[in-house]
Amino acid sequence: MADFAKYYLDFVWSLGENFLKFFEAVFIAIAHVFSKDIPDYFFKLGEAIKGFDVLGWITLFLVTIINFVLAFFIFYRLFLSLRKYIFIRHKEVEKEELLEEISKLKEQTEQLALEKNKIFSLKLNELNAFSGEIGGAKKEEKEVKGIEGRFTKLAAIDKKYNNNPAFINMSDSDMLTLEELVDNFVFYSASQLKLYYSKDVIRQFIAGLATSKVIIIEGISGTGKTSLPYAVSKYFFNNALIVSVQPSWRDRAELLGYLNEFTKKFNETDFLSGLYEATYRDDMNFIVLDEMNLARIEYYFAEFLSIMEMPDTSEWKIDIVPSREDGDPKNLVDGKLTVPQNIWFVGTANQDDSTFTITDKVYDRAVTIQLNEKGKYFDAPITQPVNFSHDYLDSLFNKAMTENELSQQALDKLEKLDDFIQKKFKIAFGNRILKQIKLFVPVYVACGGAESEGLDFMVMTKILKKFTSLNLVFLTKELTELVTLMEKLFGKGKFSKSIEYLKQLQKTV
């Protein structure tokens, strides 16, 4: 033990001496520079300039200026770097303080919520003293309205359609083809609603209805994203339900509501009422999730994304309550609501700092339409809305898929494109996307578009959108090769949307 102690003391002493020698050497070196080296430089310069001619003096002057400029630039860059470090450090400190403050506020909020629940519980206990009188009044009110049970709004819908069943009476003038449907809607929207959309956008929307129950309309503000499903719904003599998504949404209860354990009543949302009412209707119904990416879509809409992957539509059931009780709505079977086939969920999305990124899981299951330009005014003949049943629209979709089935030539070209993208970018089409292409393109053609245009739209929105997650700095050559391949397979000018999108990606690299 004594030997170790002696060794360790010697080691610490030696280490301390080395540190002292290091700082001493640094001090001596700095002192040597200012006391000897710099005076020597000036002395040597003084000796040398005695033999300088005119050219030598000019050269000395220029070199001196260059050296001063270089030294100034170096010190200036060091100053900027130091200032940037101090600024960033200051921001980080402020950020940490802000996070601490948020954490404290969150704790205070939770405490206030607990206190509120306690107060609410006490109030309920006080109200129980008058339960006979209040209960009798409520019962009398329910009897007057003819509505009982824990679902007030849904029961009212039952009553509404029991008295007035929904029925779509289509006349010969309503029996439009898909191409006529596109033309008529464009004219109706312009003449009656003063909303101007191109035929190509409407083809994408109609073909999207045949492809998925979820449609996402992206673009800058003011381009008519929310107005599009509103106008389509009006054209079909219906009213789209517009639900404003809130940043605080975290789960399905924000959409569907929840059972209040205190009152034993179900807090019904407008979304749930719109979804339930669609079970009674024969026409097309649209629920618009306005600014859907203000909250994380996978949180509040996850259940719908999952069930709509099931091939058997009879299994598209949403759990509302654990079990059935007397007085529950008619179409709520064993506490479950079947999502009807005549309803679509249309989400609008802005892409800015206030929104969340829409994930591939959502994009893969939806049809995405870009609206980045405001519609241009054009003269349109006055056109009236039409009576259109969901069954008739579905028959038009089936007819289009039979008559305009994707050609084998197009499938072969897609396969070559898929092989190249898999090899160069490690991204595959997948069965889901291929299935969607086979549904979308035939209906797009029936709406008056070209097969190559429909393929172009789907490849851009389903495949090329995924390229933003790649490190494109190292893939510039591959992007150029992909553009060349598309022009070779589909012809110059045929895949304009995809090629333009790839060129924009190249510019960002």
The 3 state secondary structure assigned to 204-270 is: HHHHHHHHCCEEEEECCCCCCCCHHHHHHHHHCCCCCEEEECCCCCCCCHHHHCEECCCCCCEECCH
Mean pLDDT of 473-486: 92
Mean pLDDT of 176-190: 97
pLDDT tens string 4-14: 777 778 888 88
- Min mean pLDDT across 160-164, 292-296, 389-393 is at 160-164
- Of 349, 370, 391, the last residue of a domain is 370
Residues with Cβ within 8 Å of 185's Cβ and at least 6 positions away in sequence, in order, are: 202, 231, 232, 235
- Of 370, 394, 415, the last residue of a domain is 370
- Residues 208, 310, single domain; the answer is yes
- Min mean pLDDT across 48-57, 141-150, 219-228, 261-270 is at 141-150
Give how far Cα 285 sits from Cα of 35, 211, 462, Å: 89, 16, 25
Mean pLDDT of 50-69: 81
Give how far Cα 433 sits from Cα of 217, 358, 405, 436, 438, Å: 18, 17, 16, 5, 9
Terminal alpha carbon distance of the chain = 66
Instruction: Examine residue 40 and state whether it is found in any structural domain, yes or no.
Output: no
pLDDT tens string 62-93: 888 988 888 888 888 888 878 777 767 666 66
Instruction: Examine residue 211 and state whether it is found in any structural domain, yes or no.
Output: yes
pLDDT at 279 over 60: yes
pLDDT at 211 over 70: yes
Question: pLDDT band at residue 148, thresholds of 50, 70 and 90?
Answer: low
pLDDT tens string 434-461: 999 999 999 999 999 999 999 999 999 9
Instruction: Examine residue 215 and state whether it is found in any structural domain, yes or no.
Output: yes
**More confident site: 55 or 323:** 323
The rounded distance, in Å, linking the Cα atoms of 508 and 183 is 37
**More confident site: 500 or 26:** 500
Question: In this predicted structure, what is the pLDDT of residue 131?
Answer: 42
Query: In terms of Cα–Cα distance, which of 127, 133, 152, 154 is closest to 264?
Result: 152
- Residues 418, 467, single domain; the answer is yes
Mean pLDDT of 466-482: 90
Give the CA dihedral 326, 331, 334, 336, nearest 10 degrees: -130
- Residues 424, 364, single domain; the answer is no
The rounded distance, in Å, linking the Cα atoms of 143 and 147 is 7
pLDDT at 482 over 90: yes
What is the residue type of 156? A
Instruction: Examine residue 384 and state whether it is found in any structural domain, yes or no.
Output: no
- Residues 412, 314, single domain; the answer is no
Our CA angle for 262, 267, 271, nearest 5°, is 165
Instruction: Examine residue 224 and state whether it is found in any structural domain, yes or no.
Output: yes
Mean pLDDT of 124-129: 47
Work out the percent of the chain whose per-residue pLDDT is above 90: 59
- Residues 361, 409, single domain; the answer is no
292 sits in which H/E element? none
Question: In this predicted structure, what is the pLDDT of residue 138?
Answer: 43
Question: pLDDT band at residue 375, thresholds of 50, 70 and 90?
Answer: confident
pLDDT at 203 over 80: yes
- Residues 365, 412, single domain; the answer is no
The rounded distance, in Å, linking the Cα atoms of 280 and 340 is 9
Pairing of strands 367-370, 214-218: parallel
- Residues 434, 341, single domain; the answer is no
Mean pLDDT of 400-426: 94
Question: In this predicted structure, what is the pLDDT of residue 140?
Answer: 37
The rounded distance, in Å, linking the Cα atoms of 153 and 320 is 14
pLDDT at 3 over 70: yes
What is the residue type of 139? K
Q: What letters, b where the CB count within 10 A reaches 16 and e where it falls short, cover 82-118?
A: eeeeeeeeeeeeeeeeeeeeeeeeeeeeeeeeeeeee
- Residues 362, 421, single domain; the answer is no
Question: pLDDT band at residue 57, thresholds of 50, 70 and 90?
Answer: confident
What's the whole-number average pLDDT of the chain? Answer: 87
Instruction: Examine residue 264 and state whether it is found in any structural domain, yes or no.
Output: yes
Handedness of CA 270, 276, 277, 281 (dihedral sign): positive
- Residues 293, 341, single domain; the answer is yes
CB atoms within 10 A of CB 134: 12
- Min mean pLDDT across 13-22, 205-214, 225-234, 319-328 is at 13-22
- Residues 290, 195, single domain; the answer is yes
The rounded distance, in Å, linking the Cα atoms of 348 and 227 is 10
The rounded distance, in Å, linking the Cα atoms of 435 and 451 is 15
Give the CA dihedral 288, 294, 297, 300, nearest 10 degrees: -80
Mean pLDDT of 161-174: 88
Which tokens go with 172? 């010969």
Question: In this predicted structure, what is the pLDDT of residue 308?
Answer: 93
- Of 350, 370, 390, the last residue of a domain is 370
CATH number of domain containing 324:
3.40.50.300
Number of structural domains, the chain? 2
**More confident site: 63 or 328:** 328
Instruction: Examine residue 94 and state whether it is found in any structural domain, yes or no.
Output: no
Question: pLDDT band at residue 43, thresholds of 50, 70 and 90?
Answer: confident
Instruction: Please state the pTM of the whole predicted model.
Output: 0.72
- Residues 332, 409, single domain; the answer is no
- Residues 312, 248, single domain; the answer is yes
Mean pLDDT of 471-485: 91
pLDDT at 144 over 60: no
Instruction: Examine residue 26 and state whether it is found in any structural domain, yes or no.
Output: no
pLDDT at 362 over 80: yes
- Residue ranges making up the domain that contains 338: 174-370
Pairing of strands 214-218, 343-349: parallel
**More confident site: 162 or 95:** 162
Is-contact 257 272, C-beta < 8 A?
yes
